[in-house]
Amino acid sequence: MAHNTSSEYDAIVKICKELFIKKTRDYGTAWRILRPSSITDQIFIKAQRIRTIEDKKINKVGDDIIGEYVGIINYCIIAIMQLELTADAPQELNPDDVEITFSQKVRETKDLMLDKNHDYGEVWRDMRVSSLTDLILMKILRVKQIEDNDGKTLASEGVKANYQDMVNYAIFALIKLGVA
């Protein structure tokens, strides 16, 4: 069966973006109040819940892991947007501007994915979804450490690249789960 990663990726992003924009219109940009570490912790909560469900095979809350992966993607995009907003930026942003910025950040992240897919030969297609979850958790722990080091790194990529990798791993998981 032939795969078209680019179109599958776009289908997942469409789902995530539609939900994100609806919530932005419902709640405004209340997420602007979150500090970077709080966003990272929200992503951690979602990824840890996925891992718990994967390990225990029990879901008592009822929300499926697909929604949690979507949440990871959207929170990572929020984090990337927050990184680039200045301290004097207003808390409430225009929803149309947020939609444009969301699309721009996803486009940058997709370009990174396409470059890495070229070099790695789409090896993610042979991975287990649980491994993608573990990679997301590892990236979260890296971001937490960088945050604890006041953003300073000696030889590592910064937090933006880690958030982008998490977006891509979550999209891969959703593709593997048959969402696209």
Place of tokens 């947007």: 81
Q: What's the confidence (pLDDT) of residue 28?
A: 96
State residue 163's pLDDT score.
Answer: 98
Give, rounded to a whole angstrom, the gap between the first and last alpha carbons of the chain: 14
The pLDDT tens digits of the residues spanning 117-128 come to 999 999 999 999
Phi first, then psi: what are they for 58, rounded to 5°? -130, 135
Q: Please report, as a single letter, which amino acid is at residue 14.
A: K
User: Alpha helices of 28-94 — where are they, by DSSP H?
Assistant: 36-56, 65-84
pLDDT tens per residue across span 136-147: 999 999 999 999
Which positions of the chain have pLDDT values less than 70?
Answer: 1-2
CB atoms within 10 A of CB 103: 13
Report the C-alpha gap between 178 and 69 in whole angstroms. Answer: 13
Token code pair at residue 24: 């932005």
The reported pTM is: 0.95
Sequence ranges of the domains in the chain: 5-176
Distance of CA 7 to the CA centre of its chain: 18
